């Protein structure tokens, strides 16, 4: 199979650089273009990037040139685009790439609430990728836009997916979010060291809406997703960890549930990316812990190369139709680049790109 050519928009930042290890030697995609702001255009990648990962920049990518956005669009010689631009910047650029026939897999928050734009976690809602075809016929594009959820949404939606069949009525969520989620310059060290910040602007609204959209069902005749008919209430907090968002979830079901049934649902949970044996698919996608001291951010964020979510401490909450649990996912891998690379792998295998 010939590889699809790929570009990254915003590869020098915190989220964008996470694509580099995934794409350095990817069996389906070949990185051809890196595009960022005028600050970086004309430099080599290694000179432009604020690299903060433990492993060095992949040696075959370190000297790639970074070009301006205008130049990247003018060349328009790639099949797919990964975007990690700030939302306001992405709003202007992403549709231009989609119009020119490229499918944009994007980390940026813009367009997530548009009815024909899929917000994808491949194991949870892969049928929503069919919205790409609806987008094309509605907007007259050859390409399209696929969105990553907010990084806090990811742990919750992956933890809730195996439980959907029990009839979720209400979810309350309290997050403890790592500083990397705010970007490299996001939270000053003097503000976060020795501290917990009880407010993250705009976060709760995103987490509440996106979970209901991702856990909802695609209605192809309407060309949109019917939101999960449940109440979702989030309280989001920034804590002093670097990577890995951990969340306490309180879930109410239509009927009584047995903890052992829920355990089995996690242990048996698998999905299309695993069945297709996609290169970035973790096996299993959700790791279940019985040890009440797990999952822990430091010990468990890198499970499945950072692609597996984990859950633990599943217990009843006062009565048998309510439970509590802890969920964890790596915010800059599963909550960003890794999730989008997996979505692109799936879209390719399903003939959507």
Ligand X SMILES: NC(=O)c1ccc[n+]([C@@H]2O[C@H](COP(=O)([O-])OP(=O)(O)OC[C@H]3O[C@@H](n4cnc5c(N)ncnc54)[C@H](OP(=O)(O)O)[C@@H]3O)[C@@H](O)[C@H]2O)c1
Exactly one of 144, 162, 295, 335 binds ligand X (CB under 6 A); that residue is 335
Active-site position among 151, 236, 237, 316 = 151
Whole-number minimum distance, CB 110 to ligand X, in Å?
8
How does DSSP assign 269-311, residue by residue? Answer: ---HHHHTT-TT--SSSEEE--STT-S-HHHHTTGGGGT-EEE
Q: Which two tokens stand for residue 51?
A: 């690299």
Q: Which two tokens stand for residue 27?
A: 């069996």
Note if 321 is an active site residue.
no
Could you say which residues in the range 105-124 bind ligand X, by CB under 6 A? 107-109
Taking the least distance from each CB to ligand X, the nearer of 201 and 290 is: 201
| 36 forms part of the interface with ligand X (CB under 6 A) | yes
Whole-number minimum distance, CB 49 to ligand X, in Å?
7
Site string for ligand X, 63-92 (x = CB under 6 A): ------x--------------xxxx-x---
The contacts of residue 172 (CB under 8 Å, 6+ apart) are: 233, 234, 235, 249, 250
Q: What are phi and psi of 130, to 5 degrees?
A: -65, -15
Taking the least distance from each CB to ligand X, the nearer of 249 and 336 is: 336
Note if 240 is an active site residue.
no
Taking the least distance from each CB to ligand X, the nearer of 240 and 276 is: 240
Taking the least distance from each CB to ligand X, the nearer of 87 and 296 is: 87
Residue found under tokens 């979720």: 168
Residue found under tokens 């050519």: 5
> What distances in angstroms separate CA 274 from CA 7, 115, 123, 130, 201, one per listed residue?
26, 27, 8, 19, 35
Taking the least distance from each CB to ligand X, the nearer of 5 and 68 is: 68
Taking the least distance from each CB to ligand X, the nearer of 197 and 276 is: 197
Could you tell me if residue 35 is left (phi over 0), alpha (psi between -120 and 50 degrees) or otherwise beta? beta
| 39 forms part of the interface with ligand X (CB under 6 A) | yes
Exactly one of 6, 7, 12, 216 binds ligand X (CB under 6 A); that residue is 12
Whole-number minimum distance, CB 124 to ligand X, in Å?
16
Neighbouring CB atoms inside 10 A of 152's CB total 27
Taking the least distance from each CB to ligand X, the nearer of 98 and 288 is: 98
How does DSSP assign 241-273, residue by residue? Answer: -SS-EEEEEEEEESS---HHHHHHHHHT---HH
Site string for ligand X, 277-316 (x = CB under 6 A): ----------------------------------------
What is the Cα–Cα distance from 208 to 230, expressed in whole angstroms?
Answer: 10
Cis peptide leading into residue 284 (ω within 30°): yes
Whole-number minimum distance, CB 315 to ligand X, in Å?
30
Q: Judged by CB under 6 A, which stretch of 9-17, 134-142, 223-231, 284-292 contacts ligand X? A: 9-17
Q: Judged by CB under 6 A, which stretch of 116-124, 125-133, 179-187, 208-216 contacts ligand X? A: 179-187
Q: Which residue is nearest to ligand X (CB)?
A: 13
Active-site position among 26, 128, 236, 245 = 245
| 10 forms part of the interface with ligand X (CB under 6 A) | yes
Count of residues interacting with ligand X (CB under 6 A): 29
* Contact (Cβ atoms closer than 8 angstroms) between residue 347 and residue 316: no
Whole-number minimum distance, CB 65 to ligand X, in Å?
13
For 275-311, give one letter per residue: b (16+ CB within 10 A) or e.
eeebebbbebbbbbbeeeebbbbeebbebbebbbbbb
What is the Cα–Cα distance from 287 to 295, expressed in whole angstroms?
Answer: 9
What is the Cα–Cα distance from 217 to 159, expressed in whole angstroms?
Answer: 17
Q: In what order do the strands lie in the sheet with 231-235?
A: 231-235, 168-176, 245-253, 319-329, 309-317, 286-288
Residues annotated catalytic, as ranges: 151, 245
Footprint on this chain of ligand X (rule: CB under 6 A): 10-16, 36-37, 39-40, 69, 84-87, 89, 107-109, 151, 180-181, 183-184, 331-332, 335-336
């Amino acid at each position: 199979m010939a590889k699809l050519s790929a570009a990254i928009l915003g590869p020098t930042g915190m989220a964008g650089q996470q694509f580099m290890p995934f794409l350095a030697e990817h069996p389906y995609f070949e990185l051809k273009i890196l595009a960022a702001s005028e600050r970086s255009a004309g430099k080599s990648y290694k000179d432009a990037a604020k690299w903060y990962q433990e492993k060095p920049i992949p040696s075959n990518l370190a000297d790639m040139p970074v070009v301006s956005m205008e130049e990247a669009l003018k060349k328009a010689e790639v099949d797919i685009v990964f975007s990690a631009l700030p939302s306001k910047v992405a709003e202007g650029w992403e549709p231009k790439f989609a119009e020119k026939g490229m499918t944009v897999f994007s980390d940026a928050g813009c367009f997530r609430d548009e009815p024909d734009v899929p917000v994808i976690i491949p194991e949870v809602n892969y049928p929503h990728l069919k919205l790409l075809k609806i987008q094309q016929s509605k907007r007259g594009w050859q390409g399209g836009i696929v969105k990553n959820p907010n990084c806090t949404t990811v742990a919750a939606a992956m933890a809730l997916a195996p439980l959907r069949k029990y009839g979720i009525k209400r979810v309350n969520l309290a997050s403890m979010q790592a500083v990397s989620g705010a970007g490299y310059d996001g939270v000053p060290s003097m503000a976060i060291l020795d501290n917990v910040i009880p407010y993250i602007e705009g976060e709760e609204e995103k987490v509440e809406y996106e979970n209901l959209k991702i856990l909802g069902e695609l209605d192809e005749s309407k060309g949109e997703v019917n939101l999960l008919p449940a109440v979702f209430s989030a309280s989001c907090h920034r804590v002093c960890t670097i990577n890995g968002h951990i969340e306490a979830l309180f879930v109410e079901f239509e009927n009584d549930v047995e903890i052992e049934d829920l355990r089995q649902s996690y242990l048996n949970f698998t999905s299309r990316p695993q069945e297709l044996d996609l290169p970035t698919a973790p096996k299993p996608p959700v790791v279940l812990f019985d040890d009440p001291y797990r999952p822990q951010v430091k010990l468990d964020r890198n499970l499945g190369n950072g692609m597996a979510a984990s859950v633990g401490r599943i217990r009843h909450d006062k009565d048998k139709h309510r439970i509590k649990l802890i969920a964890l996912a790596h915010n800059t891998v599963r909550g960003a680049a890794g999730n989008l690379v997996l979505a692109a792998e799936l879209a390719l295998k399903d003939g959507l790109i």
